[in-house]
């Protein structure tokens, strides 16, 4: 007959885990997340469990199981690789009328641990008669549906209100966060721009209003004040508004301005961080912005105004003296001024530079040069926005990786 499902509220309750191997390593963090006071009994444990013990998050008794260890527990997990020990633990728990789970023998286990997953505030648990693989497969299908918004948008009774500032990531639609995708699926209105992952818009329901708030460099643009007004106007009509932005809304995304405007007009705001293109695009091109022995720091700079411009607040002189990596955003049209300034302030003209255009998208391409040649090579190569410029010796790390891969790919 089917089991009776319960959601155990374990906050402040003692849970005994007997065994310190891989099964315990999977289950203990979930018990801690539920607020349980975990007592672990095992002569040896994995490094991760040892770390939890040393941090004071669990109580570890480094010895074999003893009769009486179950006393005071609300739940017992028998997860050793010794069937006799697991049987003894379960028998002692049964005698004390304590629910227990036996990891190695589902038929002999008084309780089963479901294949569980989390999607937002929803917890999913699936049992399939002790078949963990099938249960995990169904669990994954349900959790994926909740995470991408397909189930949430159809069945949620708690539709969000106000405005959500959602970071869409560097361009590839697959790099938006789970929470961002969930909220996007529940939107009544989506205010988007040219750097947001446009492929996600095709997944919206037909009745979702999409407002194009593109800001095209040196071309058609929608002012920030107009965008702010869009957000407040639609939210005050009772619609849930998602402001879908490229990268992270608070990294050169003017998300702070939008959040302030909403706050001043009494509109609640949810901020969903996104993967910033400042680190994601170099990574997609194989360039680490930090690398041991090469760069211990990196600086992210908005270069929408060049060195020497009265509106610039960037200390270009300090950046010229620095030895870390420079990641320049919005710099394509200004590299002819930026590169000489960095050289003038101390950077070698031989410093490697990489320019990554359309990062994470199918048309991604990378141009490599030096500070002394980059402006001319960008012009000759027809580089256009959006593109990220990386300045520093980490560019050579990517070159080394490419050379190794090329050598391995050659026939002997």
Let me know whether 286 and 322 are in one domain.
yes
Last residue of a domain, which of 113, 137, 165? Answer: 113
Residue 156: the pLDDT is 54
Let me know whether 221 and 312 are in one domain.
no
Residue 139: the pLDDT is 84
Mean pLDDT for the chain overall: 90
Let me know whether 284 and 188 are in one domain.
no
Output the tens digit of pLDDT for each of the chain's 412 residues.
788 888 899 999 999 999 999 999 989 998 999 999 999 999 999 999 999 999 999 999 999 999 999 999 999 999 999 999 999 999 999 999 999 999 999 889 999 888 888 776 778 888 887 677 788 888 888 887 777 666 655 455 567 899 999 999 999 999 999 889 889 989 999 999 888 888 888 888 888 999 888 654 544 567 889 999 999 999 999 999 999 999 999 999 899 999 999 999 999 999 999 999 999 999 999 999 999 999 999 999 999 999 999 999 999 999 999 999 999 999 999 999 999 999 999 999 999 999 999 999 989 999 999 999 999 999 999 999 999 999 999 999 998 888 888 878 765 4
Cβ count within 10 A of residue 254 = 16
Active site residues: 193, 215
Last residue of a domain, which of 275, 298, 322? Answer: 275
Domain assignment of residue 10, given as a range: 1-113
Residue 144 belongs to some domain of the structure: no
Tell me the pTM: 0.73
Report pLDDT digits (tens) over 240-265: 999 999 999 999 989 999 999 999 99
Residue 411: the pLDDT is 52
Let me know whether 85 and 11 are in one domain.
yes
Given strand 59-61, what is the order of strands in its sheet? 59-61, 37-41, 14-18, 75-78, 99-102
Let me know whether 159 and 270 are in one domain.
yes
Residue 203: the pLDDT is 80
Residue 119 belongs to some domain of the structure: no
Query: Which tokens go with 367?
Result: 């141009």
Last residue of a domain, which of 63, 93, 113? Answer: 113
Residue 221: the pLDDT is 67
Residue 141 belongs to some domain of the structure: no
Let me know whether 258 and 300 are in one domain.
no
Residue 219: the pLDDT is 47
Residue 223 belongs to some domain of the structure: yes
Here the CATH number for the domain that contains residue 26 is 3.40.50.720
Report pLDDT digits (tens) over 226-238: 999 999 999 999 9
Let me know whether 271 and 294 are in one domain.
no
Let me know whether 160 and 90 are in one domain.
no
Let me know whether 247 and 287 are in one domain.
no
């Amino acid at each position: 007959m089917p089991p009776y499902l319960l959601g155990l509220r374990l906050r402040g309750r003692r849970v005994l885990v007997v065994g310190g191997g891989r099964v315990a390593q999977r289950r203990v963090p979930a018990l801690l997340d539920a607020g349980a006071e975990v007592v672990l009994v095992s002569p040896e444990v994995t490094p991760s469990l040892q770390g939890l013990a040393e941090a004071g998050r669990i109580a570890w008794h480094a010895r074999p199981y003893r009769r009486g260890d179950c006393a005071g527990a609300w739940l017992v997990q028998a997860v050793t690789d010794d069937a006799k020990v697991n049987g003894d633990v379960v028998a002692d728990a049964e005698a004390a009328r304590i629910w227990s789970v036996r990891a190695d023998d589902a038929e002999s286990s008084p309780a089963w641990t479901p294949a569980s997953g989390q999607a937002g505030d929803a917890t999913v648990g699936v049992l399939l008669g002790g078949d963990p693989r099938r249960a995990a497969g169904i669990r994954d299908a349900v959790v994926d549906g909740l995470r991408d918004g397909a189930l949430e948008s159809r069945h949620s009774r708690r539709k969000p209100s106000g405005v959500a500032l959602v970071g869409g990531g560097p361009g590839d639609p697959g790099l938006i966060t789970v929470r961002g995708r969930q909220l996007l699926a529940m939107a009544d209105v989506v205010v988007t721009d040219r750097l947001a992952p446009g492929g996600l818009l095709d997944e919206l329901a037909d009745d979702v209003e999409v407002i194009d708030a593109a800001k095209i460099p040196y071309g058609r643009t929608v002012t920030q004040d107009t965008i702010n007004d869009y957000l407040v106007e639609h939210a005050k009509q009772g619609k849930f508004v998602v402001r879908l932005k490229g990268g992270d809304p608070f990294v050169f995304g003017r998300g702070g301005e939008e959040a302030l405007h909403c706050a001043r007009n009494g509109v609640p705001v949810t901020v969903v961080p996104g993967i910033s293109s400042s680190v994601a695009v170099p990574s997609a091109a194989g360039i680490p912005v930090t690398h041991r022995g090469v760069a211990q720091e990196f600086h992210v700079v908005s270069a929408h105004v060049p060195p020497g411009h009265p509106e610039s607040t960037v200390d270009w002189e300090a950046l010229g003296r620095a030895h870390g990596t420079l990641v320049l955003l919005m710099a394509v049209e200004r590299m002819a001024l930026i590169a000489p300034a960095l050289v003038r302030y101390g950077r070698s003209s031989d410093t490697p530079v990489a320019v990554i255009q359309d990062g994470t998208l199918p048309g991604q391409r990378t141009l490599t040069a030096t500070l002394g040649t980059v402006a001319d090579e960008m012009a000759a190569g027809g580089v256009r926005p959006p593109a990220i410029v990386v300045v520093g010796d980490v560019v050579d790390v990517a070159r080394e990786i490419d050379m190794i891969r090329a050598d391995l790919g050659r026939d002997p």
